[in-house]
């Protein structure tokens, strides 16, 4: 079973978790907010209600694991989706922590709507691993994601990201 790590909850991160989970992925979820479980459960309940109404065929639901740290969530993940607040210093700090612990071949995507991939990649250990995957909302229903790489992201990585997103 492929594994997605969702870092940062809120409505967008929780909806990403729902999208991956309802498409059969193992999902590891980390959010330090005190109310993250309430938000996640509310979004997941909506997704479980509405996704089967829209899609004719879904695989069996994957497994959800709540993780105490970024390291626990991203270790061994195939896809890491960062959905933290729209503050560049937070995103860069979280991306650095992700890259300390994730596999070199993992795709690291940001849900940002305000920063370019180059801004997110500044100072990162492996800038070629980071791209923007900006979803339309609600993520669990609308199958539209804007994939934005920088010039340092290999075409193979972009194609792999698009294939994964097309699959889910």
Q: State residue 89's pLDDT score.
A: 97
Q: Are 116 and 39 contacting, i.e. CB atoms less than 8 angstroms apart? A: no
The tokens for 3 are: 């594994």
Q: What is the 3-state secondary structure (H, E, C) of 125-156?
A: CCHHHEEEEEECCCCCCCCCEEEECCCCCCHH
Tell me the backbone φ, ψ of residue 82, rounded to 5 degrees.
Answer: -90, 125
Helix (H) or strand (E) holding 7: strand 3-7
**Rg value, the chain, Cα:** 15
pTM score: 0.97
Q: What is the mean pLDDT of residues 18-24?
A: 97
Q: Are 140 and 40 contacting, i.e. CB atoms less than 8 angstroms apart? A: no
Q: Average model confidence (pLDDT) for the chain?
A: 97
Number of C-alpha atoms within 13 angstroms, CB side, residue 7? Answer: 29
Q: What is the pLDDT of residues 122-144, one digit of tens each?
A: 999 999 999 999 999 999 999 89
Residue 56, pLDDT > 90, answer no
Q: What is the mean pLDDT of residues 61-88?
A: 98
Alpha-carbon span 3 to 74, nearest angstrom:
9
Q: What is the mean pLDDT of residues 88-103?
A: 98
Q: What is the mean pLDDT of residues 1-24?
A: 97
Q: State residue 34's pLDDT score.
A: 93
Specify the higher pLDDT residue, 118 or 55.
118
Query: Percentage of the chain with pLDDT > 90?
Result: 98
Question: CA dihedral defined by 108, 96, 91, 47, rounded to 10 degrees?
Answer: 40
């Amino acid at each position: 079973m492929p594994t997605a790590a969702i870092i940062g909850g809120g409505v967008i991160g929780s909806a990403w978790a729902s999208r991956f989970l309802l498409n059969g992925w193992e999902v590891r979820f980390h959010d330090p907010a005190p109310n993250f479980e309430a938000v996640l459960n509310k979004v997941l309940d909506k997704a479980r209600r509405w996704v089967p109404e829209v899609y004719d065929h879904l695989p069996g639901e994957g497994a959800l694991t709540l993780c105490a740290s970024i390291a626990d969530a991203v270790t061994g993940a195939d896809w890491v989706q960062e959905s933290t607040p729209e503050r560049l210093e937070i995103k860069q700090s979280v991306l650095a922590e992700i890259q300390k612990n994730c596999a070199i071949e993992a795709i690291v995507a940001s849900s940002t709507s305000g920063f370019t991939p180059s801004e997110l990649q500044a100072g990162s250990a492996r800038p070629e691993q980071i791209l923007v995957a900006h979803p339309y909302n609600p993520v669990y229903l609308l199958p539209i994601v804007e994939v934005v790489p920088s010039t340092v992201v290999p075409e193979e990585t972009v194609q792999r990201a698009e294939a994964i997103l097309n699959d889910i």
